[in-house]
Amino acid sequence: MATTVESGRTLAIVLNWCAEDDTAACVQSLLMERQTTTTLDILVVDNASPDGSGDRLAAQFPTLSYLQTGANLGYAGGNAQAMQLALARGYEFILIINDDATVRPGCVRLLLEVMASEPGVGACAPTIVHGQDQQDIIWWAGGRFQWWKALGTHDHYGTRLQQHAFPQLGPQPITFACGCVVLFRSSAIRACGSFRPEFFAYAEDVELSLRLVSAGWGIRWVPAAVAVHAVRYPAAPPTPWAMQLRDTNRRRLARAHYRGWKRALFALVFSGSRLVLAGRYLANGDRARARAVISALGEPAGERAGTTG
């Protein structure tokens, strides 16, 4: 029997890292959702924030569950630990949401309705728009896994929300659910595992999406559900650290999932594109980003990553 929205106990996980104001705003938006989605519980998680924001958030929301991981485990590791807690407590669904994201009214309920109507769906995600005064600009509205890049797309990025008739669209099949805001079915996480902690940050959502699809679970984008990510458009250039970590994780994903000609072709395309990119940065005098690109080519990405679920 399909799980109903009313019976589907859901744990929303908000992972904080030195972002007290953003995390509090995220929690407040979820508390508003809980007024109409009574099966929604909220877990505030802190990755040992050195500014003490974890303790202050626990005091600000004393009625909510709180988890202190004890170390900076990254987005992947902190959420993986919390997801295991959700499984142990018997939650049917797990909502992962960035600390700098908020949900608009009805977002969670719309996601849960898709889960209730489609038992074979392992994950679904809402339309995500930019923050502040740019909430009419799309950040993510559906996505596809591109194996030759080992990345997922942000479909409709930079277009305006009113250009599209999203409220009239039903759930859309996708192959990449953005980890900024995503609802997982617990049985899918039990079967496939949660985020892999070794990814730390970047591409952990791509890798988990690939595992879900490979195991036969569906992934859906729910156009009518809307969340807000507090980032500006256009995006600022990635930091050298972020570039190096993302590219290392792309190689890590390829090592875990690709074989034969696919692994060889990815390595060829990836290495060639990175060398060209490093050359462009050097030509523009950006040695820090050039070093990051080159370092990711030589940094050990590990062999098959172990599951966490």
Answer with the one of 199, 229, 259 that is the final residue of a domain.
229
**Cis bond before residue 240 (omega within 30° of 0):** no
Question: Which pLDDT band, with edges at 50, 70 and 90, does 301 fall under?
Answer: confident
State whether 62 and 82 are in the same domain: yes
Structure tokens at 258: 């690709």
Beta-carbon neighbour count of residue 133 at 10 Å? Answer: 8
Residues 195 and 244 in one domain: no
Distances (CA, A) of 269 to 201, 260, 264, 298, 302: 23, 15, 9, 15, 19
Predicted confidence at residue 23, as pLDDT, reads: 98
What pLDDT is recorded for position 8? 84
How far apart are the C-alpha atoms of 196 and 134, rounded to whole Å? 32
pTM of this prediction exceeds 0.85 = yes
Tokens found for residue 3: 């799980």
Neighbours of 277 (CB within 10 A): 17
pLDDT number for residue 307: 35
pLDDT, residue 300, reads 80
Both structure tokens of 244: 């190096």
110 within some domain:
yes
Neighbours of 60 (CB within 10 A): 15
pLDDT in tens, 80-102: 999 999 999 999 999 999 999 99
Q: Are strands 101-103 and 93-97 parallel, antiparallel or unpaired?
A: unpaired
pLDDT at 304 over 60: no
- What is the SS3 string spanning the chain? CCCCCCCCCEEEEEEECCCHHHHHHHHHHHHHHHCCCCCEEEEEEECCCCCCHHHHHHHHCCCCEEEECCCCCHHHHHHHHHHHHHHHCCCCEEEEECCCEEECCCHHHHHHHHHHHCCCEEEEEEEEEECHHHCCEEEECCCCEECCCCEECCCCCCCEHHHCCHHHCCCEEECCCCCCEEEEEHHHHHHHCCCCHHHCCCCHHHHHHHHHHHCCCEEEEEEEEEEEECCCCCCCCCCHHHHHHHHHHHHHHHHHHCCHHHHHHHHHHHHHHHHHHHHHHHHCCCHHHHHHHHHHHHCCCCCCCCCCC
pLDDT in tens, 171-221: 999 999 999 999 999 999 999 999 999 999 999 999 999 999 999 999 999
Residue 132 belongs to domain with CATH number: 3.90.550.60
| Domain shared by 125 and 263, yes or no | no
For 18-42, the pLDDT digits (tens) are 999 999 999 999 999 999 999 999 9
Structure-token pair, residue 107: 């977002």
Domain C-terminal end among 183, 208, 229: 229
Per-residue pLDDT at 299: 79
Angle in degrees, 0-180, between the axes of helices 204-214 and 240-257, rounded to the nearest 10: 20
Q: Which residues does 63 contact at the CB level (< 8 Å), separation at least 6?
A: none
Domain that holds residue 287: 240-298
Give the pLDDT band of residue 309 (cuts 50, 70, 90). Answer: very low
Average pLDDT over the chain, rounded to whole? 94
Q: How much is the average pLDDT of 257-283?
A: 97
Q: Are residues 188 and 273 in the same domain?
A: no
Is 60 exceeded by the pLDDT of residue 6? no
User: 210 with 277, same domain?
Assistant: no
Instruction: Clarify whether residues 187 and 282 are in a common domain.
Output: no
Q: What pLDDT shows up at residue 302? A: 59
**In whole angstroms, what is the distance from residue 254 CA to residue 189 CA?**
21
Q: What is the pLDDT of residue 1?
A: 33
Number of domains in the chain: 2
Task: Please give the average per-residue pLDDT across 3-17, as a whole number.
Answer: 81
Q: How far apart are CA 130 and CA 143, in angstroms?
A: 16
- Pair (168, 283) in one structural domain: no
- Tell whether 75 and 193 lie within a shared domain: yes
Residue 170, pLDDT > 80, answer yes
